[in-house]
Structure 1
Amino acid sequence: MDTLTAPVPANEMERLTVLAELDLDYSALNDNLKSLSKLAAKIAGTEISMVNLIDSFTQWTVSNYGLDLDQMNREDSVCQYTIMQDEGYEVLDLAADDRFKEKFYVTSDPNLRYYYGVPLRADNGVNLGALCVLDTQLRVLSPEKIEMLKIIADEIVNRLRALRVIESMRGQINEATENQRRVAHDIRGPLGGIIGLARIISEQGDENTMEEVLEFIGLIQKSGHSILELADEILSIKAVPAENANKLGNDEFNQVTFKEKLIKLYTPQALNKKIKFTVNTSADTQNIPFLKNKLLQIVGNLISNAIKFTPEGGSVSTHLSIDAVDQGRSLQIKVEDSGVGLSPDKIQQILSGQGESTTGTGGEQGYGFGLALVKHLIDGLKGNLQVVSTTGNGTVFTVSLPQAISKI
């Protein structure tokens, strides 16, 4: 394979879409996977093992054993070749392979030599990333050990899928809770009216000594009070106190927590290229909750793309805010860079959801699907993407995502 050509799976857009649909937070998976990464190293007899997920621009190490590493550029990774395979992928000596011999992990600490990777394959046959074992010594893995690594890789995919299901169920439970509260609010008014009417009829009937009617009306009144008490009970249990109106659920960010997450995930990429990276929030709305749904995938791809096309010494900034609209709220995300800019034709290509491979300002290999994925995800959330740029003068991506008001 040509060392200057980035390996890209034939089903790359499908692969990225499946990974995005899992809606994973790459910085929050280690606790669920660390036992499996350790087991892989112990079975292989290697010093190091890693669980890597590969998106449009980045290899994310979501769990590791023996090497403290969170991420690297996709084009620097060995696992980018593993996701091209149906089975395992082996490099007997990284230092003797022209593709890897100059990479930082070979020429300096930890001075890696051996690599074996197993694709992390989803049910539909796409490879999300790789489970890999590595060593500073040359090794040979037996067929039995390789088969056990494949079993561990399957279990990793199962856990990722299970995590997604759990998060989805949490969201459904939260939605059901909100629906209960709304129902309770909706029935209180009519019930209060019925009880009031029953009281009036009861008073009138008492004046007319209609004993049988009064008894019947009394039963209605008693029943109405019981239902009203039930509604009050539901509200008292489920209602969010005023002081906790902005408390975050498991499926929510606010601007402050989202900023922290973005800085943690993408500052290393900016520092690696000597680019100033900032995230700004809107003070008057920064504590209002909004749904996490696909946000890390959307904004992460935009930030990585901006870093890729911004020269050393440049800047990338992200601005977060929430605007009020007729039907609720709209989350506004602006990613602005001082990079090489885009031509009108390229902007139109992005807005039409097409991908084309290009090379970054630092020589980064292009994969061409990151912005197409962003457009696909935004459309799925019924949002809007705007791109403003002129060649040589940087680019501004503006994303608008509708947000239902979840707190009554």
Structure 2
Amino acid sequence: MNNLNPIPANELQRILDLSDFNLDYSNFNDQFNDLAKLAASVAGTEISLVNLIDSYTQWTISSHGLDVDQMPREESVCQYTISKDKHFEIVNLNEDERFKNKFYVTNHLQLRYYYGIPLKSNGHNLGALCVMDRSPKILDPEKAELLEIIADEIINRLNTFKIIDSLRNQVREATDTKNKVVHDIRGPIGGIIGLAQIISEQGKENKMDEVLQFINLIYKSGKSILELADEILSSEKKQPKIKIKGDELNLMILKEKLEKLYLPQATAKGVSFTVSISPATADIPFSKNKLLQIIGNLISNAIKFTPMHGKVGASLALITGARSTLKIIISDTGAGLTQAQIDDILTGTSASTKGTNGEPGYGFGLALVKHLINGLGGILNIKSDKEGAKFIVELPQPLGMV
């Protein structure tokens, strides 16, 4: 059968749209559990999942009846759903050539029925709401309509999280602006006070009592403004420096997230995956904007092209200074890249290739990475030899962030 791994016609824009949500797939907690449970109840199925699909992976952000966090995109049924404008239904997975040999059909799960609805935002399918069962069936139109309503609510919530994240960034920028204004006014006010002191001292010698009284008032007024500025700055400094806000990460937290998200992928392929961080700056907050999307795609790509018993490593370091920089190195012991392949990646013209276990390539993971890095004003370098490849990313942090 042709097109065993379908790719939406708007795939690049689709994953760009998904990246704009800046999602942390490990941090949704119970925010969609009520909708997943409702979907299963409406459909009369044992299982329902809320899935988002990026370049390499299907991420389950909420589930009912089945404990699952992720699976390779090429193994999923929902990859077909996101290629559709409407729903995608399989009455019996065991009778469909595309799915009858999949692990969820042949193992203890013995799944048979699937019904999926695209989760659409701005015309792009970010993922799917799906319901599944262990016996074949056909969903009634009334139930299908109710599932459409649930899918719309999932997107509404995702958009709400996106808006909150945007507002959080605006608040941080406003705080940075306030601190800059306070810092900027301290200089001239200090100068005024200094000048007033000099004139005041000279005025005493010249017995200019009225001028002296006026200048003393200026001095006191200016000093009170300076004290107010110090108080504002002091209140900011009293905030715990290692407190992590919603739009921030630090190296320790990032390490934990990467291990949770990508160690299962590496383990499933028999690849060693490790994350190392620089201890000196391990607890200093930095922006998480598009960070998990960039690092995640690079790690998934490295696992894809690393053979069994190989190694994939992520090295993370925050280099502090006048303009702090987050340095990320993703290394692997795969076959490596030719200079022509490196040039294609850096120019955004790389073609899709299969992984070491024949994993299909969708051709957009590294293009997305390059696009996101450019958007953040960062730099991507690639080094490769017979021992593997290294992707080196440098991301400047926003002024005032660290």
Mapping 1:9-408, distance limit 5 Å: 9-123=8-122, 125-240=123-238, 244-324=240-320, 327-390=322-385, 393-406=387-400
**Compared with structure 1, are the counterparts of its residues 95 and 30 closer, same or farther at alpha carbon in structure 2 (3 Å cutoff)?**
farther
Q: Secondary structure in 1 aligned to 2:109? A: coil
Q: Which runs of 5+ in 1 are unaligned?
A: none
Q: Secondary structure in 2 aligned to 1:340? A: coil
Stretches of 4+ aligned residues off by more than 6 angstroms: none
Instruction: Compare 377-386 and 327-336 and name the one that shifted more.
Output: 327-336
Question: Contact 2:286–2:401 at 8 Å: present in 1 too?
Answer: no
Q: Which amino acid aligns with 2:397?
A: Q
Q: Secondary structure in 1 aligned to 2:31? A: helix
Q: Which amino acid aligns with 1:338?
A: T
Instruction: Compare 191-200 and 263-272 and name the one that shifted more.
Output: 191-200
Q: Using the alignment, how far apart are the partners of 1:314 and 1:61 within structure 2?
A: 27
Deviation at 1:62, TM superposition (A): 0.7
Question: Contact 1:339–1:393 at 8 Å: present in 2 too?
Answer: yes
Deviation at 1:116, TM superposition (A): 0.4
TM-score norm. by structure 2 comes to 0.95
Instruction: Compare 157-166 and 126-135 and name the one that shifted more.
Output: 157-166
**Any idea what the Cα deviations from partners look like across 1:218-242, whole Å, max 9, x if unmatched?**
332232133123212312322246x
Q: Using the alignment, how far apart are the partners of 1:120 and 1:28 within structure 2?
A: 19
Q: Which amino acid aligns with 1:394?
A: G
Q: Secondary structure in 2 aligned to 1:112? A: coil
Q: Using the alignment, how far apart are the partners of 2:118 and 2:176 within structure 1?
A: 41
Question: Contact 2:22–2:293 at 8 Å: present in 1 too?
Answer: yes
CA RMSD, 1 decimal: 1.8
Q: Which amino acid aligns with 1:182?
A: K
Question: Contact 1:6–1:366 at 8 Å: present in 2 too?
Answer: no
Instruction: Compare 232-241 and 77-86 and name the one that shifted more.
Output: 232-241
TM-score norm. by structure 1 comes to 0.93
Q: Using the alignment, how far apart are the partners of 2:16 and 2:350 within structure 1?
A: 13
Residue-pair matches, total:
402
Deviation at 1:254, TM superposition (A): 1.6
Q: Using the alignment, how far apart are the partners of 1:206 and 1:95 within structure 2?
A: 100
Instruction: Compare 397-406 and 261-270 and name the one that shifted more.
Output: 397-406
1:7 aligns with 2:6: yes
Q: Which runs of 5+ in 2 are unaligned?
A: none
**Any idea what the Cα deviations from partners look like across 1:139-167, whole Å, max 9, x if unmatched?**
22111111111111111112112111111
Once the two structures are aligned, what percentage of the paired residues are identical? 57
Q: Secondary structure in 2 aligned to 1:357? A: coil
Question: Contact 2:47–2:65 at 8 Å: present in 1 too?
Answer: yes
Q: Using the alignment, how far apart are the partners of 2:66 and 2:128 within structure 1?
A: 16
Question: Contact 2:298–2:330 at 8 Å: present in 1 too?
Answer: yes
Instruction: Compare 76-85 and 219-228 and name the one that shifted more.
Output: 219-228
Question: Contact 1:41–1:49 at 8 Å: present in 2 too?
Answer: yes
**Any idea what the Cα deviations from partners look like across 1:48-106, whole Å, max 9, x if unmatched?**
11110000110000111111100000000000000011011100011111111111111
Q: Using the alignment, how far apart are the partners of 1:28 and 1:374 within structure 2?
A: 22
Instruction: Compare 212-221 and 7-16 and name the one that shifted more.
Output: 212-221
Q: Using the alignment, how far apart are the partners of 1:157 and 1:397 within structure 2?
A: 33
Deviation at 1:44, TM superposition (A): 1.1
Deviation at 1:405, TM superposition (A): 4.9
Q: Using the alignment, how far apart are the partners of 2:138 and 2:201 within structure 1?
A: 93
Q: Using the alignment, how far apart are the partners of 1:379 and 1:235 within structure 2?
A: 34
Deviation at 1:109, TM superposition (A): 2.7
Deviation at 1:172, TM superposition (A): 1.7
Instruction: Compare 146-155 and 67-76 and name the one that shifted more.
Output: 146-155
Deviation at 1:193, TM superposition (A): 2.7
Q: Using the alignment, how far apart are the partners of 1:388 and 1:137 within structure 2?
A: 51
Question: Contact 1:317–1:336 at 8 Å: present in 2 too?
Answer: yes
Deviation at 1:343, TM superposition (A): 2.0
Deviation at 1:195, TM superposition (A): 2.1
Q: Using the alignment, how far apart are the partners of 1:196 and 1:350 within structure 2?
A: 58
Question: Contact 1:34–1:64 at 8 Å: present in 2 too?
Answer: yes
Q: Which amino acid aligns with 2:223?
A: H
Q: Using the alignment, how far apart are the partners of 1:101 and 1:383 within structure 2?
A: 45
Q: Using the alignment, how far apart are the partners of 1:381 and 1:407 within structure 2?
A: 14
Q: Using the alignment, how far apart are the partners of 1:255 and 1:77 within structure 2?
A: 32
**Any idea what the Cα deviations from partners look like across 1:319-360, whole Å, max 9, x if unmatched?**
1113356x5122111111111222222111111112422111
Q: Using the alignment, how far apart are the partners of 1:148 and 1:30 within structure 2?
A: 24
Q: Using the alignment, how far apart are the partners of 2:171 and 2:53 within structure 1?
A: 31
Deviation at 1:290, TM superposition (A): 1.8
Deviation at 1:189, TM superposition (A): 3.1
Q: Secondary structure in 1 aligned to 2:23? A: coil
Q: Secondary structure in 2 aligned to 1:339? A: coil
Q: Secondary structure in 2 aligned to 1:181? A: helix
